[in-house]
Amino acid sequence: MSKASRIFVTGAAGMIGSSVAAALLADGHMVVGIDNLWRGTSRNLDALKANPNFEYRHADIAADRNWSFDVGADDTIVHTADIVAGIGFVFANEWTIFQKNLLINTEIARIVHFQQPRQLIYLGTACSYPQGLQRSTEGSVLSEEVKFPADPESGYGWSKLMGDIEFRLAVKGKRTRLTVLDLHNVYGWPCVYRDNTAQVIPALIMKAITSQDRSLSVWGDGKQGRAFLHVNDVVAAVRAALGYAGAHDNFMIGPDRCTTIAEVADLIRQHPRIGIDRVVFDPTKPTGDIGRYADASRAKAELGWEPRVEFRQGLHELIDHVIDDWQANR
Ligand SMILES: NC(=O)c1ccc[n+]([C@@H]2O[C@H](COP(=O)([O-])OP(=O)(O)OC[C@H]3O[C@@H](n4cnc5c(N)ncnc54)[C@H](O)[C@@H]3O)[C@@H](O)[C@H]2O)c1
């Protein structure tokens, strides 16, 4: 694509959005970042703002249309803004999350329908896939074909699926190409690790750092698992999807292995800067879907994408980031 055209990255202050925006700037693109700092941070924007090819528009996508009037036919939208959080927050706020994500996504659909940018890349989620197919850590492989008939477990999963469906309708008969990347559980830096929206890995790291009795408490029996995907691998998937003009509009993005939460906790325990000697399980707390992992063969064949970051290494690097940040800012 032409470097003179712009890429609008919604959620540019978030974990994935800021990483994607940085990579696109490094590739020489002009990037417009949109965020309302609901969960993303101005700190994540600082490095982006230092680049003259970056422009920041502070806006609540669901309520403020001003930024969107500039989206033109040569532009691309990489849509990462949605309400995302760990499982405790998700199940305590299902309707709010559902409603907010519907409002955000319907606004993006309106922009796409009427202004017809070149491409919309939407970050979907494995949480939108049927819960009945996520009942074990060994057999629950998800591919694009099993998304329907739909039965996501949470309001979050449903809201993300509604976005997916509405985007399909919005681009029907239009020139805009839709590319949906259904991501498994993403981890990496910069992430939220110290508030109630933290996701499982940063939340566990934080518990380990602040433990008073050298124990690490894990929700559930630890046998539940996820296919953990490093944020750098998400960036690679977005780069690969940019300008994609092939036959498919939906890609499953994740590793082909499910790592249990007990395994994650043990890997955290093994980090040299973590002072934990036992992991304890709390079966009274929610675990969500039991397990899932990805069949990413379509992404490999069509986009040349496959995950590259080895989990233990990515996790240990994240632990270093969190400890450094915690020590510098507590
Ligand atoms: N993190 C994961 O494990 C994961 C897994 C699958 C899919 N995804 C998807 O990837 C995308 C990015 O996730 P993330 O982990 O970077 O989350 P994040 O919370 O770090 O980033 C989302 C960003 O969107 C912003 N935002 C929220 N509401 C907004 C609004 N109304 N207007 C403008 N900005 C708003 C937030 O402030 C935040 O900066 C989301 O769409 C999410 O559903 C994430």
> What is the tens place of the pLDDT at every residue in 199-226?
999 999 999 999 999 999 998 899 999 9
pLDDT band at 5 (very low <50, low <70, confident <90, very high): confident
Cα R_g (the chain), whole angstroms? 19
Say how many Å lie between the CA of residue 199 and the centre of ligand 1.
Answer: 12
Nearest one of 6, 56, 57, 50 to 28, comparing CA atoms: 6
Nearest ligand 1 atom to alpha carbon 39: 37
Residues in the chain: 330
pLDDT at 285 over 90: no
Question: Looking at the domain assignment, is residue 75 inside a domain?
Answer: yes
pLDDT band at 119 (very low <50, low <70, confident <90, very high): very high
Say how many Å lie between the CA of residue 7 and the centre of ligand 1.
Answer: 17
pLDDT band at 289 (very low <50, low <70, confident <90, very high): confident
Say how many Å lie between the CA of residue 92 and the centre of ligand 1.
Answer: 18
pLDDT at 258 over 60: yes
pLDDT (mean) for 153-178:
98
> Tens digits of per-residue pLDDT, 75-110?
999 999 999 999 999 999 999 999 999 999 999 999
CA angle (30, 31, 37) in 5-degree steps: 165
Q: Whose CA is nearest to atom 30 of ligand 1?
A: 60
- Mean pLDDT score of the chain, rounded to an integer? 96
Say how many Å lie between the CA of residue 83 and the centre of ligand 1.
Answer: 6
pLDDT (mean) for 141-151:
97
Q: Whose CA is nearest to atom 12 of ligand 1?
A: 80
Predicted confidence at residue 136, as pLDDT, reads 83
In short, whether 82's Cβ falls inside 6 Å of ligand 1 is yes
pLDDT (mean) for 135-149:
91
Number of helices (H) and strands (E) in the chain: give both, helices first: 10, 15
Predicted confidence at residue 139, as pLDDT, reads 75
Predicted confidence at residue 135, as pLDDT, reads 86
Q: Whose CA is nearest to atom 2 of ligand 1?
A: 186
Structural domain harbouring 122:
6-189+227-256+292-308
Question: Looking at the domain assignment, is residue 233 inside a domain?
Answer: yes
Say how many Å lie between the CA of residue 283 and the centre of ligand 1.
Answer: 29
Nearest ligand 1 atom to alpha carbon 234: 10
Question: Looking at the domain assignment, is residue 265 inside a domain?
Answer: no
pLDDT (mean) for 298-302:
98
Question: Looking at the domain assignment, is residue 194 inside a domain?
Answer: no
Question: Looking at the domain assignment, is residue 323 inside a domain?
Answer: no
Question: Looking at the domain assignment, is residue 325 inside a domain?
Answer: no
Q: Whose CA is nearest to atom 21 of ligand 1?
A: 14
Question: Looking at the domain assignment, is residue 261 inside a domain?
Answer: no
In short, whether 17's Cβ falls inside 6 Å of ligand 1 is yes
Nearest ligand 1 atom to alpha carbon 85: 19
Per-residue tokens: 57 = 């528009």
Residue 235 maps to which CATH number? 3.40.50.720
Count of domains in the chain?
A: 1
| 128-147 core/surface letters (b: 16 or more CB in 10 A; e: else) | bbbbebbeebeebebebeeb
Predicted confidence at residue 305, as pLDDT, reads 98
pLDDT at 170 over 60: yes
Pairing of strands 177-183, 250-253: parallel
- CB within 8 A of 222, min separation 6: which ones? 260, 261, 262, 265, 279, 281
Predicted confidence at residue 121, as pLDDT, reads 99
Give dist(CA 31, CA 80) in Å, integer.
14
Least confident of 60-74, 78-92, 150-164, 282-296: 282-296
pLDDT (mean) for 266-287:
93
In short, whether 80's Cβ falls inside 6 Å of ligand 1 is yes
Nearest ligand 1 atom to alpha carbon 40: 39
Say how many Å lie between the CA of residue 151 and the centre of ligand 1.
Answer: 22
Sheet holding 250-253, edge to edge: 54-58, 30-35, 6-10, 76-79, 119-125, 177-183, 250-253
Q: How far is CA 220 from CA 28, 212, 213, 227, in A?
A: 45, 21, 20, 17
pLDDT at 286 over 90: no
Question: Looking at the domain assignment, is residue 242 inside a domain?
Answer: yes
pLDDT (mean) for 157-181:
98
Predicted confidence at residue 138, as pLDDT, reads 78
pLDDT (mean) for 54-62:
98
Predicted confidence at residue 4, as pLDDT, reads 66
Beta-bridge partner residues of 277: none
In short, whether 37's Cβ falls inside 6 Å of ligand 1 is yes
Q: Whose CA is nearest to atom 20 of ligand 1?
A: 14
CA angle (277, 280, 281) in 5-degree steps: 155
